[in-house]
Amino acid sequence: MRHVAALTVLFSHNFALNGLHEPVLRSWDTMGFFSVVVFFTISGYLMPISYNSSEGFIHFIIKRIRRLLPAIVICSFIMIFIVSPIFSNKSISSNNFIKESILLFIQHCAFIFNNPIGIFYDFKVPGAMNGSLWTIPIEIVCYLILATSLSFSNSYKTILVLLLLSLIGCLITIYNEVGFVFYGVPIKYLSMFGVAFSTGALLSMTKTKWHPYRYGILIISIIVILSAQTGLELNSICLAAAAFMVIFFGTNIKLSSKGSFDISYGIYIYAFPTQQIIINKVSDDFTTSLILSTIITIILATLSFLFVEKPFLDRNKSAGRKTNLPAEIST
C-alpha cells in the first residue's frame, strides 16, 4: 500500500515538473496530496504499536531516527555534493559554495530541507532540488507529539484529544489562511496531516471497538466525503473519513511489514530529483520521462533499502528480540 502511495506521488509530480497541472480528485487536492495522507495514516496506525514495543520515549525516538535519518543522509549527500555542483550556476571552486554546501548538508541531517542556491537554474521548475522532503519534518513532529502524549497517558483518550486538536487546528488555519512555518513545519499542514496521523493512531488503539462496525463506518465515511461542500470541510473532517478508508482497506491486506522488502521511503526521497533531471536533460515527453524516472527511482530506492535502510532496521528488530518483543513491530 505504501509502494502504491509513493509511486502515485511520483506520477502526480510528473505533471507538475513537466509544467502541467497535477490531477485533482473531486476539486479537493492533488493525487500527490492524498498519497501523503495515506503515508501519514499508515504511519499513525503503526506508531502506537511501535511505541508500546519500545522501552520508553527515548528508545522510540531512536528507532524513528534509525528509520528516517540514514537514507536522508546519503540522499542529501548525493544531492548536495554531487548533483548540485553539476546542475548549479554557481562556481563550485569558491569557498562560499563549499561552506554553503556543508551548512546545507548539516541542515538536511537535522531535517531542515533548504535548496542549494542556483540548483536546477535552467529547469522548468527551477530551484527545487527535492520537493517531496517538506513533509518529513511534519511526520517527525507527529512522532514527538504522539510519544510525548503517550508517555503521560497511554490511552486512546489521549489520541482522541490529539485528533480533536488537529481538527481545531485545521479549522483555524484554513479559515484564517494561516501560513506560519516553524523550523520547516507549516502549521496548516501539520494540522491537516495530523488529522490523518491521529485518526490512524486512534484506530490502532481501538480496533476491537470499531472493527465489528467497520462496514457501517465505511459507508458513513464515504457519505461524509461525498456530501462535503467546501475546502473547510474537505480539509478537516473529510481527512479523518479518508484516513478510516485507508485503514479499512489496509487492514484487509495487512499493514504489518514482517520480512517485507519496503522501498517506499526510497521511492519517496529519490523520485523528485530523478524526475527533475530526466525531464529537463533527457526527455520531456510525459510517458517517456515517467517510465525512465520510475525505473531509475526504483533502482535507487532498492539500493537505498538494501545498503542503507535495512542494516538500521535490522538493528531495531534485534532490539525488539532483546526485549522479547515481536521483531515485526520493533520497527
Q: What is the pLDDT of residue 231?
A: 77
Mean of the pLDDT values across residues 318-330?
44
Of residues 327 and 248, more confidently modeled: 248
Query: CB–CB of 298/289 below 8 Å?
Result: no
Angle at 272 between CA 307 and CA 115, to 5 degrees: 95
Mean of the pLDDT values across residues 159-165?
97
Mean of the pLDDT values across residues 13-19?
96
- Per-residue model confidence as pLDDT tens digits over 121-139: 999 999 999 999 999 999 9
Mean of the pLDDT values across residues 41-50?
96
Query: CB–CB of 5/33 below 8 Å?
Result: no
Q: What is the pLDDT of residue 267?
A: 98
Q: How many helices and strands in the chain, by DSSP H and E?
A: 15, 4
Q: What is the pLDDT of residue 139?
A: 96
| Predicted model pTM | 0.91
Alpha carbon distance 45, 202 (integer Å): 7
**Most confident range, picked from 173-187, 232-246, 279-293:** 279-293
What residues are paired with 88 via a beta bridge? 119
- Per-residue model confidence as pLDDT tens digits over 190-205: 999 999 999 999 999 9
Alpha carbon distance 261, 117 (integer Å): 36
pLDDT of 230 > 90? The answer is: no
C-alpha distances out from residue 248 to 44, 115, 219, Å? 14, 38, 11
323 in helix, strand or coil? coil
Q: What is the pLDDT of residue 123?
A: 96
Q: What is the pLDDT of residue 328?
A: 33
Of residues 74 and 98, more confidently modeled: 74
Query: CB–CB of 248/262 below 8 Å?
Result: no
Q: What is the pLDDT of residue 317?
A: 67
- Per-residue model confidence as pLDDT tens digits over 69-90: 999 999 999 999 999 999 998 8
For residue 213, the 8-state DSSP code is: G
Q: What is the pLDDT of residue 316?
A: 66
* Cβ-proximal residues to 121 (8 Å cutoff; 6+ apart), any chain: 87, 88, 89, 127
Q: What is the pLDDT of residue 164?
A: 97
Alpha carbon distance 203, 41 (integer Å): 10
For residue 88, the 8-state DSSP code is: B
Among 138, 91, 92, 88, smallest CA distance to 113 is for 138
Query: CB–CB of 80/116 below 8 Å?
Result: yes
Query: CB–CB of 115/129 below 8 Å?
Result: yes
pLDDT of 31 > 50? The answer is: yes
Of residues 6 and 29, more confidently modeled: 6
- Output the 3-class SS for 258-309: CCCCCCHHHHHHHHHHHHHHHHHHCCCCHHHHHHHHHHHHHHHHHHHHHHHH
Of residues 291 and 259, more confidently modeled: 291
pLDDT of 210 > 60? The answer is: yes
Q: What is the pLDDT of residue 322?
A: 47
> What band does 111 get if pLDDT is binned at 50, 70 and 90?
very high
> What band does 229 get if pLDDT is binned at 50, 70 and 90?
confident
> What band does 95 get if pLDDT is binned at 50, 70 and 90?
confident
Q: What is the pLDDT of residue 325?
A: 41
